[in-house]
Structures are given as C-alpha cells and as structure tokens.
C-alpha cells in the first residue's frame, strides 16, 4: 500500500452551507470533486494525526462509494482509527452520539438530509466537530478557503473495505471498525426515557402506532427501538428498508411528502399515533388520530412535559428556538422561569448554548427538535419523547394539545414554501423586501399596524460571533408577525419561505383551521412581497 499524490484543480462551488456541501450526485461524481472537498476538510483540521473519526451516511445513492474514498484519504492523512456504520449507514443524530460517546476527533456525515436521492438526486457531506455538532463557521470558512487553492490531494492505494461485515480491518496504518449502527444510539434512548411505561402502551393492542421511515436511514433504528425494545407489533414501522433512492419518494416528513402516513392517520381506521422521519433521521413529524401537530407546538409540548421523562426530570437549563420558529416555546419558558434564546436557522447555533449549559431543549420549525443529549436535531428522540408523554398522561395527542393551548394560549402558525423558484427572482424579492423594510413601521394593513421591520441579526452570547442577514421580520402591534427567508438546503433554484404567526388567548377560538385563522396575515405577506406576481405561483409548493 502506498500514498498517492493526485494533481487537481480547485472547484469554485464548494462553499459549505448551513448543513455542509450539497449538490447533485452527478456533481460529486466528477473526477476529483469529492476528493477535493475531503482534502480541504483534512487541511482545515489541526492535530488530527492518530485521532479517531466517525464516518457514515444516510444510505442514499453514492454513499458507499464516497465512504471508500474518504477512508483511503483518511488513511493518507494519518488518522489513527475510523468508526464506520454497518453498511455505511449512520443517522445524523447517531453519528453525533458516537462522536461524543467515544470522544472522537470529529466525524464526516454523508447526507443531503430531506432532499431526494437516487442517481439524479442530491448528495451531501459535512464535518462535525468533537462536540458532535456541525462545524462552526470558522471551520467551514477554513474548509472553503482551502478548497479554492487546492493543487493536489492524497489517497492510499488499497482495496475497498467490506462495509457489510462487522469487525476490525486495517488500511495501511489506520484501523477501521465497522460497528453496529443502531446499538449505541438505542441504548442512549433507553437511558433518557421510561421504556417500561412506553411498553405498557403496546400491551393489549389498545394503542396503535405507525412510524414512516420513508425508506431512509431511520428504518433499522425504528425496527430496533419500536418493535424490538418497546414491543410494538411487527408492521408498526412502514417503509423501513433504507433504499438508495428512498423508494422514489421525497424523504421530507411533512403533510405533502409523507402522504401515505397522513392518509392513514386521517382515515377511518386511524391509529392513535403517527410519526415520520427524514433522509438522515434528524427531523420528525408528529400526528395524532386525525390531528396534525405543528413542529413549533411539538417543541412547546415537549418542554412543558419534559419532567415526565427520566432524563429530564430535574428540569431544563433553558430552551432555544430558531428565529422563524413560533413563539409557543417562549410562553412555556416564561411559565417555567427559564431562559429562551432566539437564534438564526442552523443547528450549529444551538451547540454553543448547549456546550455552555445554557439550554437543554431546542428546536426549529422545519420539523427539527432535539436536546443536549447530542448536538444534532434528533427525529427518533422526539418520537420517543412523545410516546413517553402519552404513556404517562394516558391522553390522546389532540387532548394534550388542546389542554396545552388552554393553559398557554395558541400560537397559530404556518410556513409556506415556494420551492425551486428561479434564484434571481427569489433574490430580487428578498432584496426588495430588505429595501422596503425601513418604511414599513407605522403602516397599517387592514386592522393591523406594523410595529417593527428588520433583518434579523444575532450575536452569539458565548463566543461573541455575529450573524447577519438571517431573514426579514415584520412585527405587528398585536404580536403577530411575518418572516421571509431563503432556504439554504436545496440544490435546484431557491426555496422562498414565508412564516406567518398570530397569538390567540381565547380558548373558544383555538379550534379554528390554521389557514383560516391566518388568512388575513397570509394576504398581507403576499401583498408586501408580491410573490405571486413575481414568481407566477398562485399557491405554495408545501404548506406546513
């Protein structure tokens, strides 16, 4: 075995986004493309020689080939050991768990999360640091800087490693261990939640649940946790075999793309509880019998009932939410007399707060919820947390939500996604909103008067770093608000997102349909942005 130095030239499109580098599979398959980015990661890291890496992905097309390339490059870079998920599979939260449990130097996760897979789909790669969380901007900036000037990369000439075989292998001087992808993560779930109480839910066949793994990474985890450890009947997990193209589906757990599960939960013979997760296992959708739980409400309910789970029985240090996420969690934090932090979108912003002991729970409206047990959002964790709450309270999902709203009031909240919009049109819409925001304060739209309008910025209370340009906020005097953002997770065109929120204290009005309750604000958002006229879209692609 020898290390080969391969001449290359820089690519100009390898700047990581909020979740690493995401491109079409064909882009990554270009000669030297993946290798360049991996070499840039290794160049940006300090003191990695002899250290341990964690490596795995969501099983999408090109996952296995990429792992073989990365292993050979890690050996050439001098790493001492790599822990690899069996069959190349690791959910994103499980990878974070392994990094933390085994005190690894960091990890490389191969995923494009909720984006479609297959030969013509998307692929992604990101680096997580030794706390188990996504690399901070100072690291991703360094990776990008190295990628722009690469002239060569290093790779070990060696045979491929058998990813399907558990055990120990060697690549040059580097040790490789193919490990059970599920066990460490499942044991962590058992340490946090009351599995004995949850098992009782499934005793007697009176409680029925369906979990949709969407042919993505969580299938093996869900089979082990729900059907094996918790005793749910076989068949509880649907679409549980990971496929390279996710069975031709779009592995995004929302009302549009998880339609098979939604139809079941809103059907005549609906189960009591339904849930789904995404491509890499870090997102979740929660459903009751003919009842959808908004992700922002889910975060608030978990916070209000956290004491029911053994791992959280002694209280929460604090909570955090991304700026576009509804303020339902703020009301729970106020009642619990704990801090609530508002951060930009991107899980890395929660990492500093968790490392400093400031927050225990955090979440984003885009179906991401998590806690300080790892440094990633965690889809299955949220589902098991809900099962713990249901087991203890012995109520339906709908009853729990309605009691929550009666106590805290209801934050009516929706997100409208306009996907694959021409990038120039989307940027022009945002630029015009930015230019006009200073003139909006004091203006009246119908019965609502604008109290403020700004472009959200954030100063990290731990390290003092600043983030600007995080989304246009328009707040009204009655507390309602509208937020406009461009998403950074797609690979085609741009996704323009509009978030609309209004608080309702009167429990007699809580049963309203969300879109009806927010219809006036939605109209104002369309009026201010001109999105329908400028995009030619009369309706959003996805409504949450």
Just list the catalytic residues: 113
Backbone φ and ψ of 94, nearest 5° = -65, -35
* Cα 385 from Cα 364, distance rounded (Å): 16
> Rounded to whole angstroms, what are the CA distances from 420 to 16, 252, 428?
19, 15, 15
Find where tokens 């009591």 sit.
272
Can you say whether the dihedral through the CA atoms of 484, 488, 489, 495 is positive or negative?
positive
* First-to-last C-alpha distance (Å) of the chain: 53
Q: How far apart are CA 361 and CA 37, in angstroms?
A: 33
Whether the CA torsion 86, 196, 240, 258 is positive or negative: it is negative
Q: What is the DSSP letter of 124?
A: E
Helix axes of 379-393 and 295-304: crossing angle, nearest 10 degrees: 50
Strands (DSSP E) along 402-518, which ranges?
410-421, 444-445, 448-455, 458-459, 466-467, 472-476, 481-487, 494-504
Tokens matching residue 434: 């930015």
Measured between alpha carbons, how far is 275 from 211 in angstroms, rounded to an integer?
Answer: 5
- For 505, other C-beta atoms within 10 Å of its C-beta total 10
Specify whether the CB–CB gap between 211 and 238 falls below 8 A.
yes
3-class secondary-structure state, position 453: strand
541 vs 139: CA distance, rounded Å: 34
Please answer whether residues 351 and 345 qualify as being in contact, where contact means their C-beta atoms are separated by less than 8 angstroms. no
H/E stretch holding 516 reads helix 514-517
CB-count burial class (<10 Å; 0-12, 13-18, 19+) for 491: middle
For the stretch 533-541, contacts whose Cβ atoms lie closer than 8 Å and that sit 24 or more positions apart, written own/partner, are: 534/425, 534/428, 534/429, 535/418, 535/421, 535/422, 535/425, 535/426, 535/429, 535/496, 537/418, 537/421, 540/416, 540/417, 540/418, 540/498, 541/256, 541/417, 541/418, 541/419, 541/420
Alpha-carbon gap, residue 59 to 242, rounded angstroms: 7
């Amino acid at each position: 075995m020898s290390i080969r130095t391969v001449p290359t030239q820089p690519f100009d499109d390898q700047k990581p986004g909020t979740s690493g580098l995401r491109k079409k599979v064909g882009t990554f398959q270009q000669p030297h493309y993946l290798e360049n980015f991996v070499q840039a990661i290794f160049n940006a890291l300090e003191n990695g020689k002899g250290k341990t890496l964690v490596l795995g992905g969501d099983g999408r097309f090109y996952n296995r080939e990429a792992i073989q390339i990365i292993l050979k490059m890690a050996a050439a870079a001098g790493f001492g050991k790599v822990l690899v998920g069996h069959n190349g599979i690791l959910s994103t939260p499980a990878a974070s768990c392994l990094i933390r449990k085994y005190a690894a130097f960091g990890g490389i996760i191969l995923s494009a999360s909720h984006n479609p897979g297959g030969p013509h789909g998307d692929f992604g790669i990101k680096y997580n640091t030794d706390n188990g969380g996504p690399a901070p901007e100072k690291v991703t900036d360094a990776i990008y800087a190295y990628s722009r000037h690469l002239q060569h990369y290093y790779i070990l000439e060696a045979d491929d490693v058998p990813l399907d075989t558990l055990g120990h292998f060697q690549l040059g001087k580097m040790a490789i261990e193919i490990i059970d992808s599920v066990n460490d993560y499942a044991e962590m779930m058992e340490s946090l939640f009351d599995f004995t109480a949850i098992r009782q839910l499934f005793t007697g066949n009176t409680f029925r649940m369906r979990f949709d793994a969407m042919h993505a990474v969580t299938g093996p985890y869900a089979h082990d946790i729900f059907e094996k450890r918790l005793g749910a009947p076989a068949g509880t997990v649907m679409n549980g075999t990971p496929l390279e193209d996710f069975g031709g589906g779009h592995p995004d757990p929302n009302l549009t793309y998880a339609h098979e599960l939604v139809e079941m939960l809103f059907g005549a013979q609906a189960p009591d509880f339904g849930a789904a997760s995404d491509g890499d296992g870090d997102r979740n959708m929660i459903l009751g019998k003919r009842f959808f739980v908004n992700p922002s409400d889910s975060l608030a309910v978990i916070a209000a009932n956290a004491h029911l789970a053994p791992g959280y029985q002694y209280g929460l240090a604090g909570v955090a939410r991304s700026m576009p996420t509804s303020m339902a969690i703020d009301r729970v934090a106020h009642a619990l007399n704990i801090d609530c932090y508002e951060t930009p979108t991107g899980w890395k912003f929660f990492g500093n707060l968790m490392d400093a002991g400031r927050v225990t729970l955090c979440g984003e409206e885009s179906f991401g919820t998590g806690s300080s047990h790892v440094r990633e959002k965690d889809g299955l964790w949220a589902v098991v947390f809900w099962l713990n709450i249901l087991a203890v309270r012995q109520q339906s999902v709908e009853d729990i939500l309605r009691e929550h709203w009666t106590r805290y009031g209801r934050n009516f909240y929706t997100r409208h996604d306009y996907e694959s919009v021409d990038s120039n049109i989307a940027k022009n819409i945002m630029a015009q909103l930015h230019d006009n925001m200073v003139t909006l304060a004091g203006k009246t739209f119908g019965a609502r008067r604008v109290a403020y309008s700004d472009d959200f910025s954030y100063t990290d209370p731990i390290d003092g770093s600043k983030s600007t340009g995080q989304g246009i906020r328009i707040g009204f005097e009655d507390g309602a608000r509208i937020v406009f953002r461009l998403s950074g997770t797609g690979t085609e065109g741009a996704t323009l997102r509009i978030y609309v929120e209004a608080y309702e204290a009167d429990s007699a009005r809580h049963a309203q349909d969300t879109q009806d309750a927010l219809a006036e604000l939605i109209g104002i958002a369309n009026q201010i942005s001109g999105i329908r006229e400028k995009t030619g879209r009369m309706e959003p692609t996805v409504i949450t």
